[in-house]
Amino acid sequence: MNADYDFLIAGGGHNGLACGAVLARAGFSVCVVERNESIGGGCVTREVTLPGFKHDLYGSSHVWIHANPAFQELREELTQFGLDYIWEEDHITGHPDLNGPGIVIYRDVDKTCESIAVYSEKDATRYREIYDDWQLIRDGFIRTMFSPPNPPSYTPAAFEGSVAGLNRMREFNLSSRAFVLEKFENEFIRASILGWALAPQIFPDTECAGQSFYVLIPGIHTYGSAIPRGGSQMMPNAFARLIEARGGRVMTGSPISQFIVREGECKGFRLEDGTEMLADKAVVTGLGPKVSFLDCCRSEDLPPDFIDACRRFSYGRVSICRVHYALNEAPVWNNGKDMSACAFQRVFHSFSDIDQQYGEIVAGVAPTRPFLWVACWTTIDPSRAPEGKHTLIMDTFVPSHLASGESWHDLKEEYTQSVMLPILREHTQNMNDDNILAAYYDTGVSLEAANPCFVDGSTTGGERTLSQTGYFRPLPGYSQYKSPLKNLYMTGPSCHPGGGITAMGTITARVILDELGALNGQDAFSFSEN
């Protein structure tokens, strides 16, 4: 039976599409197959509240994708297919404070340090030191982030030659809580800084998260923050148009039932309607370990220890409770015009509040005073709402499962209205009932129903613990984007470097092209940050 395409890609999330775009530009025929009626995965935009109000349902802030050298090679062509980024050149994000002026993270480091210095000169100096250190490791970090992960001995070997290196290695091994307590002195600054590290749905005491501070915050100043005009959906749409312009195909509404395996080699996949599709060169799955190998493979085609490892793969205990609002007007924050000028706010009050929230998550209890992430993207992209109107995203972390046995699906509206919204109202002047035109609620239940890769509401592709990062991600022995099956490759947030809007599918594509000898002798990962 003749093959249908050179490459078949299971999953039309932005990583699968990025992988397909790189392969298509290299001259290969590509078909991306998506179960849902529309592409995007974690980068989708929908009118879920009222007509004309465009909401990014999952990923919305695009930062690290602009650090991806392979994505930058595609940018000009993607622009031709409708991808137009709007850059926030000054106000990046705000940290509101009920008892002080709050902190604004500006694109400019000096202005940011001035904002921090109102609370603590020492902490402002520390922030600057972390940024300066980032400049020293930036190029190496970018290569590490957008290349197949190094063995676990690589980093220690690189640092162990000096006292300074050993100290840095020690800091990298700290939990985010320990790092912040050691490096910063002001309570509000500590809580604000810690909040950055918790975004990947990790716990404050997760080991080896200290290194994140040397990249997360400084990276914002280096790459800025941008959103696609019209919504996150515009980015996967542009990838799809690029693939189609190169002779490829993007299929929607086509769930995969099983990968076709013959004598240990993946030949293609079978759709739920019985259609069989074959690939001449390889298949790529962006569906994650659970769906790819436990749901879509026969157990007899996989090594038993690999199946066991897939079953042990952890998606963590942290889920999401989120609400999308259609608003009459953008929130006016109590901390002044600079705070209100930020499209994105991180509401973290104190260390004790964070401790309480994660204690409640462990106990399976709905958090009583949760932190909030709040984004009003229409302040910089008015095209996402009717003239003069706005959209708002507000979310927090909650336990994946409640000890009471209740479902978040049943509690989401009450919890949002009685717990989350009052906190937002404490910090704003105009978030009254008259300002809210409509609401749409999401929890782990609806997230997984919309996308089976969002297991229990985990949007990061699996828990970011030491045992599931880098060389161990997604599973020991399978970090190089290859599965146990010949010609079945992996991509997506369950692979290195993990979740987020990074277009890491380009890594999988370059691994494949390198193995095919299609890079004309070039080192697949010889790039550096410019």
pLDDT in tens, 425-483: 999 999 999 999 999 999 999 999 999 999 999 999 999 988 999 999 999 999 999 99
Q: How far apart are CA 292 and CA 10, in angstroms?
A: 9
Residue-wise burial string across 189-206, b where 16 or more C-beta atoms lie within 10 A, e elsewhere: bbbbbbbbbbbbbbbbeb
- List CB contacts of 32: < 8 A, sequence separation 6 or more: 9, 11, 12, 16, 17, 20, 39, 240, 243, 248, 249, 250, 251
pLDDT, mean of residues 41-66: 95
Sheet holding 390-399, edge to edge: 103-106, 91-95, 344-347, 372-375, 390-399, 318-327, 436-443
In a domain, 183, yes or no: no
The DSSP letter of residue 333 is B
Distance of CA 199 to the CA centre of its chain: 9
Residues forming beta bridges with residue 273, ordered by sequence position = none
In a domain, 135, yes or no: no
Containing 400, the helix (H) or strand (E) segment is none
**How many structural domains is the chain composed of?**
1
Q: How far apart are CA 397 and CA 129, in angstroms?
A: 30
Q: How far apart are CA 162 and CA 503, in angstroms?
A: 35
In a domain, 198, yes or no: no
pLDDT, mean of residues 364-377: 98
Q: Which two tokens stand for residue 202?
A: 């990790």
Per the CB < 8 A criterion, the answer to whether 133 and 109 are in contact is no
CATH number of the domain where residue 14 is located? 3.50.50.60
Residue 238 domain boundaries: 5-43+66-84+230-313+459-516
- pLDDT, position 217: 74
In a domain, 364, yes or no: no
- pLDDT, position 480: 97
In a domain, 170, yes or no: no
Closest to 325 measured CA to CA, from 280, 366, 376, 285: 376
Q: How far apart are CA 159 and CA 297, in angstroms?
A: 42
Q: Is the pLDDT of residue 335 over 80?
A: yes
**For helices 14-25 and 69-80, angle between their N-to-C axes, nearest 10 degrees:** 80
Radius of gyration of the chain (CA): 23
Which of 134-143, 238-247, 415-424 has the weakest average pLDDT?
A: 134-143
**For helices 14-25 and 234-245, angle between their N-to-C axes, nearest 10 degrees:** 30
Q: Where residue 521 falls among pLDDT bands split at 50, 70, 90?
A: low
- pLDDT, position 2: 63
Containing 459, the helix (H) or strand (E) segment is none
Higher pLDDT residue, 159 or 374? 374
- List CB contacts of 414: < 8 A, sequence separation 6 or more: none
- List CB contacts of 206: < 8 A, sequence separation 6 or more: 175, 176, 464, 465, 466
- pLDDT, position 156: 75
Q: Is the pLDDT of residue 122 over 80?
A: yes
Containing 284, the helix (H) or strand (E) segment is strand 276-285
Q: Is the pLDDT of residue 530 over 60?
A: no
Q: Which two tokens stand for residue 172?
A: 């990298």
In a domain, 410, yes or no: no
- pLDDT, position 440: 98
Q: How far is CA 369 from CA 365, 459, 510, in A?
A: 12, 22, 45
Q: Is the pLDDT of residue 525 over 50?
A: yes
Which of 109-113, 440-444, 520-524 has the weakest average pLDDT?
A: 520-524
Span 267-319, pLDDT tens digits: 999 999 999 999 999 999 999 999 999 999 999 999 999 999 999 999 999 99
Residues in the chain: 530
In a domain, 252, yes or no: yes
Q: How far is CA 123 from CA 101, 190, 196, 335, in A?
A: 16, 9, 16, 20
Q: Where residue 514 falls among pLDDT bands split at 50, 70, 90?
A: very high
pLDDT over 90, % of the chain: 82
- pLDDT, position 527: 56
- What amino acid is encoded at 471 in this protein? Y
Q: How far apart are CA 409 and CA 392, in angstroms?
A: 20
- List CB contacts of 484: < 8 A, sequence separation 6 or more: 302, 303, 306, 478
Q: How far apart are CA 148 and CA 470, in angstroms?
A: 8
Other Cβ atoms within 10 Å of 457 Cβ, number: 26
- pLDDT, position 528: 44
In a domain, 12, yes or no: yes
Q: How far apart are CA 484 and CA 216, in angstroms?
A: 33
Q: How far apart are CA 9 and CA 478, in angstroms?
A: 18
Per the CB < 8 A criterion, the answer to whether 200 and 461 are in contact is no
- pLDDT, position 420: 98
pTM for this predicted structure: 0.95
pLDDT, mean of residues 136-152: 87
- pLDDT, position 320: 97
Other Cβ atoms within 10 Å of 444 Cβ, number: 27
Closest to 193 measured CA to CA, from 318, 395, 348: 348
